[in-house]
Amino acid sequence: MIQQAFFAYFAFAITVLALVVITRKNPIHSVAWMLLLFFHIAALYLFLNAEFLAAVQVIVYAGGILVLFLFAVLLVNVREEMRISRFIGAGAAGFTFAVGLLVVVLMALRSFIAAPPGMYTIEHIQQETNAIALGKVLYTEFLYPFEITSLILLVAIIGAIVLAKKGLRG
Amino acid sequence: MELQFYHVLIPFLPLVGFIVNILIGKEVTRYGAHWPGVLTVAGSWVCSLFTLRDVLAGHTIDADLYSWIVSGTFKVSVGFLIDPLTAVMLIVVTTCATLIHIYSIGYMHGDTGYYRFFAYLNLFTFCMLMLVMGNNFLLLYFGWEGVGLCSYFLIGYYFNKKSAADAGKKAFIVNRFGDFGFGIGVFMVFIAFGTLHYADVFGNVSSIAGQRVDFLGFTVDLPTLIALLLFCGAVGKSAQIPLHVWLPDAMEGPTPVSALIHAATMVTAGVFMVARCNPIFNLSPFAMDTVAIIGAATSLFAATIAITQNDIKRIIAYSTCSHLGLMFLACGVGAYAAGIFHLYTHAFFKALLFLAAGSVIHAVHTNDIQEMGGLKKYMPITYAVFIIAALSAAGVPGFSGFFSKDEIIWSAYASHSSVGKLVWLMGTAVAFFTPLYTFRLIFLTFHGTYRGGHHAEAHGHAVTHSAHAHPAPHTSGHGAHDAGHGSHDPGHDTHGSGHNTHAAGHGAQGSHHGEHHIHESPKIMTVPLMFLAVGAVAAGWVGIPPILGGGAHFAHFLEPVLGHPEFHGTHAEEWAVMGLSTTIALLGIGLAAFFYLRKTDLPKKLAEQFSMLYRISFRKYYVDELYHYTIVKPTLWIANSVLVAITDAKIIEGIVNGVPGAIGRFSQSLRKIQTGIVEHYGIFMAAGAVFILALLYFMR
Amino acid sequence: MVPLSWYMVLSVIVFAIGVFGFLSRRNVILMFMSIELMLNGVNINLIALSHYLQDLRGQILAFFVIAVAAAEAAIGLAIVIALFRNKATAHVDDVKELRG
């Protein structure tokens, strides 16, 4: 019962915060609300016995990506932002299709059939700790994707520099 | 005996020469292009000699290099069959090719396309060697088409000259007709035997004897059908009636090309193929008779045309047609060995005739024998070898042409063939005409007085290549001439030559090719001539018939492949036949001497007296005109008025223009959707995703 | 015990909110934040499934999603800066180069 109550709170908070994030006129407010949203999502991960990912969520999203967004937001003329409409002309169509997507996927969810459970029971993970169990899978079965991901990050770093640096492209 | 490396090198060495010259010829080898060209072919020649030694030792090799095509039951390998027939062809091809390559160094000296010439010549040699060495029909077909392609390249070598480009096209298109039949013949071989490998086909050849198949609605004898279809290809490639028209026009190519491709090797591929397929031909008396009749008819037909022609190369070209006809005549009466023997001797004396003619053209810059005359004293070597070649071609006893020609005529007389006596008569008639036109050519060219020189200004183009500035181009001590005379450029393979466009910028100092400028060709050209002259005299000595005290070694050598024809005839008859043809040949020489040395005005009078006959011969029996009005014109009419005017202009262009027009109009209306705002695209994407998901969900 | 379907519904809701934000906001930065929302919706789903199906591969996938999201944010914001430098705007409807 208490678990359902906790989940109800977090689910409600996440939904509301997400709506708040995308409807703020001032982008700085959006970023601030988003920080709060990410903490709630991280808490939800803890619920699901994913401590490592909860930590990553806080560190990477809250600590890294949001700071980046904050930097970018500083470019924006907030005063002008407050003056004009926050949505584009076709925003209503966007809303329609987003709701349509929601409805269709929710309908499809009713026919979801779970696969047979795997070997990583809660006891097993607790015995091994989440980080070790994750690491074992990551560095064996997913070694190549892991290396490729590192390459993607490298390319992203170089690409970001090339794109953002003034005068590099002629 | 296993396949040795030098067997494999024979065809592939010239291919290496081709690749080198075609890739780096323009920039690197340039006027040294003859080094890769000549050395690779000479290497092939050496390897061929080793191969001949192996074959003489009794080895026959049939080995695959690798699997070329494997598709279901259809299996073809790249493989070589080396047997006596192949060995003979290898010797003929590589010897002639080597000497002609060397000759070309002098003849093509300073030409802008020097490297291209040697590249094509090497490619040709490669294809020809693949043709003779292949151990299956597909490889034969590959070489067959390859030599045809090279022939096209080389006839149209002076591609700036319209007549040369047209002649190349003509050769290629006329050969299409023959090769079409040949291709179907190869298909029929596969259908009948389930394989294209020579050994499997000829080993099981008796299985198709007497079979009848349905072909285009007719029930025909299978061996006859296959033999005649294969012979179609030979008719095209070897310039027999009715597809002979391309060969005289092919003389637009440089003279070494005429010698190598249109005399010694490529055109004899048809004879080689018929001899190679002799087990199939032997099954069909009808096909054999057809081969003999077509051969004899072409032989006589071409010989009568040659008498009245004035272009030195065309005369020899018709002579080639005529001799090829004799070879088919021999094959048609079952004397394949005699046909191949004549192929072998003919290669030497005909290549020699062409190269000697090239030497003459090189000196006087015209092809018209009416503008020559009296060249004997200026070109002694050329004159001597020309005489040797002509004696050999005429069949004067002792020369190689005599032995092969005599064997053919005797085979025709003595064979069991139902048309044997008829073709024997025709062959004997040819034996009269051959010396007549050959010595007419010699007497008009080398004897009498020089009739050229008055066209001097028309030859101005000959000096325009002096810009190439070759140091000491002539090794035979004619340096003094070069100063006043410019370099020699082979663009003089023209008729009436004034329209030669490949020479840029006509020299203002139009040189005067008067009589005193004519001189012998350089040593690089005359030495190969002398070697060929030795061949023209002595090549036939390997096949002296027993009646003259020889051993007929040549026929015995080829017996494992070509079999031994059964003759019926007495020694007395053989002496009589030989005596008759020899007498007739000498008579021909005598008549030529009488007409063109003694009574030089007589030929003209005779031509006027029998103007009808003269004109028919001079216009080559109007075959070109006939084809022009029955085939070329209707084809062009259909092309212009149906294909161009209706199919192309209306249907194809209607589709080609209509489809993009419709798409364009449709796109114009779609343009409005392209607002340039990213989110609009996003909305379409989301709409699409929703639509597809809904579809998947509800259609489940 | 919270049923799996609750998590899945939540993840779909977050994803749909992200879609809505992406399709309607005028500011490019907010569009990128909407993309992050969508990715987080997916991550919730992946981790919930990983937990309930007792298979760590879901968490691994979420891990990769976070890594790619970081890369995407870096590139995306660099594009925003480049856009701002060239057009002096961060509004998508001011940029109509793709107009047909």
pLDDT digits (tens, 9 = 90+) for B367-391: 888 888 888 888 889 999 999 999 9
Mean pLDDT of all residues in B600-617: 80
Q: How far is B662 from chain C (nearest CA, A)?
A: 18
pLDDT digits (tens, 9 = 90+) for A137-168: 999 989 999 999 999 999 999 999 888 887 65
- How high is the pLDDT of residue B516? 56
Question: In chain C, where are the structural domains located?
Answer: 4-94
Which residues of chain A are within 8 Å of residue B687 when distances are taken between CB atoms?
97, 100
Residue A87 DSSP SS3: strand
Which residues of chain C are within 8 Å of residue A4 when distances are taken between CB atoms?
2
pLDDT digits (tens, 9 = 90+) for A97-137: 999 999 999 988 888 888 888 888 888 888 888 889 899 99
* E-state strands within B602-644: none
Task: Using the predicted structure, report yes or no on whether residue B562 has a pLDDT greater than 90.
Answer: no
Whether residue B202 contacts residue B60, with contact meaning beta carbons closer than 8 Å, is answered with: no
Mean pLDDT of all residues in B61-74: 87
- How high is the pLDDT of residue A168? 52
Question: In chain A, where are the structural domains located?
Answer: 1-82, 119-170
Mean pLDDT of all residues in A81-87: 81
Q: Hey, what amino acid is at A22?
A: I
How sure is the predictor about B498, in pLDDT bands with cuts at 50, 70 and 90? very low
A40-49, B190-199, B203-212, B612-621: segment of lowest average pLDDT: B612-621
CA B94 remoteness from chain centre: 15
Q: Which CATH code is given to the segment(s) A1-82?
A: 1.20.120.1200
Query: Other CB atoms closer than 10 Å to residue B520's CB: what's the count?
Result: 21
- The neighbouring-strand residues paired with B587 are none
Q: Does C17 touch chain A (CB under 8 A)?
A: yes
Mean pLDDT of all residues in A72-88: 81
- How high is the pLDDT of residue B472? 37
Query: Other CB atoms closer than 10 Å to residue B395's CB: what's the count?
Result: 27
Strands B74-82 and B218-221 turn out to be unpaired
- Cα C24 to Cα B663: distance, rounded to the nearest angstrom: 32
Is A94 in Cβ contact with B682 (below 8 Å)? Answer: yes
pLDDT digits (tens, 9 = 90+) for B10-22: 999 999 999 999 8
Among the listed residues C27, C29, C12, C36, the one whose alpha carbon sits nearest the alpha carbon of residue A60 = C36
Q: Which CATH code is given to the segment(s) C4-94?
A: 1.10.287.3510
Q: Which of B671, B678, B679 sits opposite C100 (nearest CB)?
A: B671
Q: Does A167 touch chain C (CB under 8 A)?
A: no
Which residues 26-45 on chain C approach chain A with CB closer than 8 angstroms? 26-27, 29-30, 32-34, 36-37, 40, 43-44
- How high is the pLDDT of residue A167? 63
- Cα B210 to Cα B223: distance, rounded to the nearest angstrom: 7
- How high is the pLDDT of residue B595? 86
The two tokens of residue A127 are 């015995």
Q: Which residue of B has its CA nearest to C16?
A: B686
Task: Using the predicted structure, report yes or no on whether residue C76 has a pLDDT greater than 70.
Answer: yes
Residue A86 DSSP SS3: coil
Name A142's Cβ contacts closer than 8 Å, sequence gap at least 6. Answer: C57, C60
For chain C, helix (H) and strand (E) counts, in that order, are 3, 0
Burial C43-67 (b: 16+ CB within 10 A, else e): bbbbbbbbbbbbbbbbbbbbbbbbb
Which residues of chain C are within 8 Å of residue A155 when distances are taken between CB atoms?
71
Query: Which chains neighbour A (Cβ–Cβ under 8 Å, 3 or more pairs)?
Result: B, C
Which residues of chain C are within 8 Å of residue A119 when distances are taken between CB atoms?
54-55
Q: Which residue of A has its CA nearest to B678?
A: A88
Residue B367 DSSP SS3: coil
| Length of chain B, in residues | 700
Q: Which residue of A has its CA nearest to B675?
A: A90
The residue to which tokens 């290099």 are assigned: B65
Name the CA dihedral angle for B664, B669, B672, B676, rounded to a multiple of 10 degrees. -30
Q: Which residue of A has its CA nearest to B677?
A: A88
Query: Which chains neighbour B (Cβ–Cβ under 8 Å, 3 or more pairs)?
Result: A, C
Which residues 48-77 on chain C approach chain B with CB closer than 8 angstroms? none
Among the listed residues B454, B263, B436, B458, the one whose alpha carbon sits nearest the alpha carbon of residue B356 = B263
Task: Using the predicted structure, report yes or no on whether residue B488 has a pLDDT greater than 80.
Answer: no
Is B673 in Cβ contact with C92 (below 8 Å)? Answer: no
- How high is the pLDDT of residue A169? 53
Q: Does A97 touch chain B (CB under 8 A)?
A: yes
- Cα B271 to Cα B294: distance, rounded to the nearest angstrom: 13
- How high is the pLDDT of residue B665? 92
pTM exceeding the 0.80 threshold for the entire prediction: no
Task: Using the predicted structure, report yes or no on whether residue C95 has a pLDDT greater than 60.
Answer: yes
* DSSP 8-state symbol, A64: I
How sure is the predictor about B485, in pLDDT bands with cuts at 50, 70 and 90? very low
Angle at CA of residue B149, ends B147 and B151, nearest 5°: 65
Task: Using the predicted structure, report yes or no on whether residue B475 has a pLDDT greater than 90.
Answer: no
State phi, psi for B417 to the nearest 5 degrees: -60, 145
Task: Using the predicted structure, report yes or no on whether residue B554 has a pLDDT greater than 90.
Answer: no
Mean pLDDT of all residues in B269-297: 92
Long-range contacts of A5-10 (CB under 8 A, 24+ apart): A6/A47, A7/A44, A7/A47, A7/C2, A7/C6, A10/A40, A10/A43, A10/A44, A10/A47
Share of chain B above pLDDT 90, in %: 41
CA B202 remoteness from chain centre: 27
Is A4 in Cβ contact with C7 (below 8 Å)? Answer: no
Q: How far is B658 from chain C (nearest CA, A)?
A: 23
Q: How far is B667 from chain A (nearest CA, A)?
A: 23
Q: Does C12 touch chain B (CB under 8 A)?
A: no
Question: Mutation test of the interface with chain C: which of B667, B670, B677, choosing the one with the most C Cβ atoms within 10 A?
Answer: B677
Name C36's Cβ contacts closer than 8 Å, sequence gap at least 6. Answer: A34, A61, A65, C18, C69, C73
Mean pLDDT of all residues in B254-261: 90
pLDDT digits (tens, 9 = 90+) for B26-39: 887 778 888 889 99
Mean pLDDT of all residues in C21-38: 91
Burial B359-385 (b: 16+ CB within 10 A, else e): bbbbbbbbbbbebbbbbbebbebbbbb
For the four alpha carbons of B128, B131, B134 and B138, in that order, the dihedral sign comes to positive
Q: How far is A91 from chain B (nearest CA, A)?
A: 9
State phi, psi for B197 to the nearest 5 degrees: -75, 130
The residue to which tokens 């979420």 are assigned: C62
Task: Using the predicted structure, report yes or no on whether residue C46 has a pLDDT greater than 90.
Answer: yes
How sure is the predictor about C33, in pLDDT bands with cuts at 50, 70 and 90? very high
Q: What is the CB-side half-sphere exposure of residue C2 using CA atoms within 13 A? A: 24
Residue B76 DSSP SS3: strand
The two tokens of residue A72 are 């970018």
Which residues of chain C are within 8 Å of residue B672 when distances are taken between CB atoms?
100
Whether residue B108 contacts residue B256, with contact meaning beta carbons closer than 8 Å, is answered with: yes
- How high is the pLDDT of residue B125? 94
- How high is the pLDDT of residue B515? 53
Name B102's Cβ contacts closer than 8 Å, sequence gap at least 6. Answer: B38, B524, B527, B528
Whether residue B109 contacts residue B492, with contact meaning beta carbons closer than 8 Å, is answered with: no
- How high is the pLDDT of residue B503? 39
Is B677 in Cβ contact with C23 (below 8 Å)? Answer: no
- How high is the pLDDT of residue A36? 94
Question: Mutation test of the interface with chain C: which of A22, A34, A101, choosing the one with the most C Cβ atoms within 10 A?
Answer: A22
CA B405 remoteness from chain centre: 20
Name B323's Cβ contacts closer than 8 Å, sequence gap at least 6. Answer: B299, B342, B346, B350, B393, B434
Task: Using the predicted structure, report yes or no on whether residue B267 has a pLDDT greater than 70.
Answer: yes
The two tokens of residue B269 are 């591929």
Task: Using the predicted structure, report yes or no on whether residue B302 has a pLDDT greater than 80.
Answer: yes
Mean pLDDT of all residues in B325-336: 92
Q: What is the largest CA-CA distance in chain C?
A: 54
Which residues of chain B are within 8 Å of residue C22 when distances are taken between CB atoms?
679, 682
Is A109 in Cβ contact with C5 (below 8 Å)? Answer: yes
Q: Which of C48, C54, C85 sits opposite A118 (nearest CB)?
A: C54
> Higher confidence at residue B136 or residue B457?
B136
Mean pLDDT of all residues in B109-118: 88
pLDDT digits (tens, 9 = 90+) for B413-471: 988 888 888 999 999 999 999 999 999 999 888 888 888 765 444 443 443 343 333 43
- The neighbouring-strand residues paired with B7 are none
Q: Which of A22, A45, A50 sits opposite C17 (nearest CB)?
A: A22
